[in-house]
């Protein structure tokens, strides 16, 4: 992405493991390991999510998600959904595509959203899971 409009924007997530705060997904640090202080982490819960507030309704062409690469955690994100819309509640917004996955060993995946409009971009995992990711570019 040429310019990541999400950098430094307000973020939130469904829960937080201490030290793994939501803002770390838009701090421009893409290092994918637990010792890099650059990833977010929820607790195990139903349908965990992370969201960024872009501040205004914006057309979204694509979202790039950087996965955590620690061997024991890289599978946690699969499958995931990307939600875009104007509702602060992630699950209330439309999904960009269906279920997405990041292949084992793959650092990031680009999800193409075709200009969907929204103020909020969210990542949500279906089911009782833990959400880990290291950067989101919009």
pLDDT greater than 90 at residue 57? yes
24 touches 38 (CB < 8 A) = yes
In CATH terms, the fold of domain 10-137 is Jelly Rolls (2.60.120)
Closest CA to 44 of 4, 82, 15: 15
What does the domain layout of the chain look like in residue ranges?
A: 10-137
Lowest mean pLDDT among 30-39, 51-60, 125-134: 30-39
Q: How confident is the model at residue 1 (pLDDT cuts 50, 70, 90)?
A: low
Q: What is d(CA 62, CA 87) in angstroms, rounded to the nearest whole number?
A: 19
pLDDT score recorded for residue 31: 79
| Average pLDDT value for residue range 11-40 | 89
Q: How many CB atoms lie within 10 A of CB 117?
A: 13
pTM of the predicted protein model: 0.94
Residue 64 pLDDT class (50, 70, 90 cuts): very high
Considering only 9-18, 62-71, 111-120, which range has the smallest mean pLDDT? 62-71
């Amino acid at each position: 992405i040429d310019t990541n409009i999400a950098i430094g924007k307000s973020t939130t997530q469904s829960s937080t493991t201490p030290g793994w705060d939501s803002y770390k997904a838009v701090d421009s640090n893409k290092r994918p390991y637990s010792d890099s202080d650059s990833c977010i982490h929820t607790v195990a819960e139903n349908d965990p999510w992370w969201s960024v507030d872009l501040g205004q309704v914006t057309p979204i062409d694509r979202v790039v998600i950087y996965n955590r690469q620690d061997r024991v955690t890289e599978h946690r994100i699969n499958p995931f959904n990307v939600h875009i819309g104007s509702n602060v509640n992630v699950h209330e917004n439309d999904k960009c595509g269906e279920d997405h996955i990041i292949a084992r060993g793959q650092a990031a995946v680009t999800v193409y959203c075709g200009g969907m409009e929204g103020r909020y971009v969210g990542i949500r995992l279906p089911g009782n899971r833990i959400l880990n990711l290291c950067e989101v570019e919009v």
